[in-house]
Structure 1
Amino acid sequence: MKAGLIGTTTVVATLLLSSCTGPQPGSAEPSKPSHPNEIRTVTPTWISGLQVVSNHSESASCPWATAYPAIPGADALTATLRDKMPSRPDEQAADPETGCPSGETPEINISFRFLAAAGDVVGVELTTVDYSSAGDGTTIATYWFDTRSKKSLPATALLADNAGDDFVTAVVKALSGHEGVDPGNLKAALVPEFRASTLTDLAFTEGGDLVARFDQGAVAAVPAGRQQAVIPRVQAEPLLSDLGRRAQQQALRPGNRLDLDGAAPTTPRPPAPAPQPSTVDCQRVRCVALTFDDGPGPDTGKLLDTLARFGAHATFFVVGQNATYHGDLLRREAAEGHEIGNHSWSHPDLRKLTADQVRDQLDRTDQAIADATGRKPTLIRPPYGAINDTVRGAVERPMALWSLDTLDWKFRDSTKVTQTVLDTVKPGDIVLLHDNHPTSVAAVPAILSGLKDLGYQFVTVSQLFGSTQLTPGKTYGDNEKAFGRN
């Protein structure tokens, strides 16, 4: 059963804890943890047909974003992950202005990491942070798929059926002496009837050690924080099930081939050629910059076909987690003269993060874009346009907002979106659209045709500003300030 967004608990999910190192986006190689006790993760760009199923609000007063992988041939795991996603606010009785239930301000950002995706095992981690809780609010759960049985399995499936007592003993030993950990309470939390709900997060280090992570308050006093028990490989091996041993082997020697239907390796492509500088002088002619957020997605290719038909250039502010698995689309965007900007890794409200976490969101997305195109982006667009002093201090590039919001995220009506643009556009406008909404992509032909009839030239955001030097940390998006005219 899906969890609803309305309730006493506001859930916010983040991709990484500050103590974890994630995968290198876009690389076909496994990540290399910088600490021996960190979890092995991979970025399986070799899986043909892998899709990131994402959903976002675009309202700063009701920020939420969810994402999970849809893995061809692993339907049971995909279904499990889908069922962990909360219901969308607009599926409930919602305020039409914010998209949030009346009186509620849910802040959702659910992301994932792959723990393994080769041979005959897949592991996915979901990380959730609930800022309304008494503790740090972080919840991590890992889900596993056995390609032999075609079953989606919980973390406890990594353990042998008869390993329960020995596993508990190993965990007690690993956590012995940790501040706030009482051995009696720890054992009580791991008795068989509670084990499934307490032991939701098992994974391996690159050295094959078994790591059990526990949410704050699950096995220790809340002030003690999250607990992590590391069981050395030699002690862990007798505790593992057949699935657990195969998952451990993928941590030790990760492969780049997943034995699933349609999971053939992909062939890397060379970087896209650098786009040619624009010869359009937007001080003399009518220019408009169409921008598309939150992709790449299923309809991005169709959008690129439309832009090519009109000879129009645009700017794509991409989400890094999506970009990692759609490198072909990014290469095509760059090759066809479009600009690619950074829209964060997992679409969180950056105001809720520390400066280091903001930089992590941007750096990982930079890497995903560079892996696909050979170049890092020069522009940032913070999700929701949400900025505070921490964000300004952490961002070392110009931040491009918008001057014309089509509200296409709220009104899934192609005709209304088209009319909004044609009725309100001014020279120098930066128009906000989203290529993850089919109705928005469907509106683009009429938008381009109508604007062309009005004499507009279609340029990227950087082309819009021409030779004007954009200042790092400063926001741009008000056309009157940019061009001094309506």
Structure 2
Amino acid sequence: MSARAAGPGRAPGAPLVGVLALALLAGCSEPPAVEGWTPPGWHDHAGVRLAASDTDTAAALNDLGFIRMRIRNDAAGYQARYVQIAGAGEFNKRVDAMIRAPLAQLSFTPEAFPSGSGLADRGCLPGSAGWDADRVLTDPATGPANATGTAITCEVIAAFGSIVGVTMRTVTGTAGTVTADQKTTLYADVAGGTVTDAAAFWKPDAASDVWTRTVEQLRRQAGGLSSAPIAPPSDEQTALAAQALADVRERDDGTATITLPPGIASPELAGLGLDQTTAATSIEADSDLLAGWQTDAAAALENQRNTPFAGLPAWNASLPVDCSLHTCVAVTYDDGPGPYTKDLLKTLLAAQAGATFFMQGKNITGNTDIVRAVAADGHDIGSHTMTHPDLTKVGPDKDRAEVVGCADLIAGITGEPVTFFRPPYGAVNDAVLAAIGKPAILWSIDTNDWQGPGRAALIQRSVPVSKPGDIILFHDTHRDSVTAASDVMAGLQDRGFTPVTLTQLFGGKIPPGKVTRR
């Protein structure tokens, strides 16, 4: 008997296979459900997990008493925000070197800007250490003119015990093209006077381990199921992790957030379709893992972490200011001390603004406490004679008695010599200069406040017309001059000026003869 041909598309015996399959399925029963069971997930690997970025620090850390500084120079393509600490010489020296380094090959002349430039906002900027580098260059709060050149910013990241931590960041390039991005975190011990670079807190293999563990977490996030070891990082990739270790945000519970910049790349990630990261990547590390990465220097610092912050020394007007770098102006006050001088000192302290007081001997009697307070705050004091005569009309003996007598009176109260004077009415000639033998300080801007023009006029006569190196004349015996001081200082700082003492204006060497400006 001949075999029957199979129909198109159907194999011989197919009905029998289907019947058998159905029979087998019918004989299978569904396994019982296990109550509360869920599929296993990835466990955190050795105390590391991906985390949200944690680079913003409390703005309150900026208000601990730092000396707030800012320099903008459009001709040089440069802007720097930074802080200093009264009495912390080593910390200030390290920061000063960082802000000067980009200027080494540039011709630099301090600049002032129009009112409304916003430059009174000074010191560190919360969050800026963690910004995208392009934002540091392009944001007017930090970047150079036209987003081309060098931007230096800082962020206060820690304050505990006698320790403060400040991250300094220097970004160079143009908008969309960053050529360099360098972070350095300095921990200053304000009690011991020492400063330690955060790089000293990490063992040599810490950066590569941070990178490897970060790539493991990214591989899992991208859907990779492999647990094969990650290939070692290149030097370039290790450098990304080292940069992250310069800005670690530790918490009181011992954990920390470590944020790596964009650009993480590895063969494992490329195999999952991720050539390199385009945004910052943060991981959270547990305390035990951190301890394994850290050196003994870090452990010594950690012993203070849960101790309340001891505070910073107060700002003082005598602290160094380099007027070849900063845009300086000297604000001076004549005829005191008077009933408003103490209020003026409070204003100057709040503004971190230095000033020079030319005092009259007849007003010092009964006000020696004010003289001491002016000196204690670091402001300059000059002689304004005993009784305010026109020195060109009284002869050399009377000149000396008036000027030197007042200078000796001030020195006897403060313990510091008085090295310059201001002639009443600005009246001075060669005979007076020869008789006194000290520099005669005049002014380049006279507000004529003695005419009583009102606060608004005093501001207009000083703030918008000032130029770098000017000497401005006020009197602290006039109420409006003192009540306007807050707006005057804020207005000058808004334009980029740093109000300084005469000693600072001239770098400690006031020239001889008649002086009207720097």
With normalisation by structure 1, the TM-score equals 0.41
From the CA coordinates, give the structure whose radius of gyration is larger: 2
With normalisation by structure 2, the TM-score equals 0.38
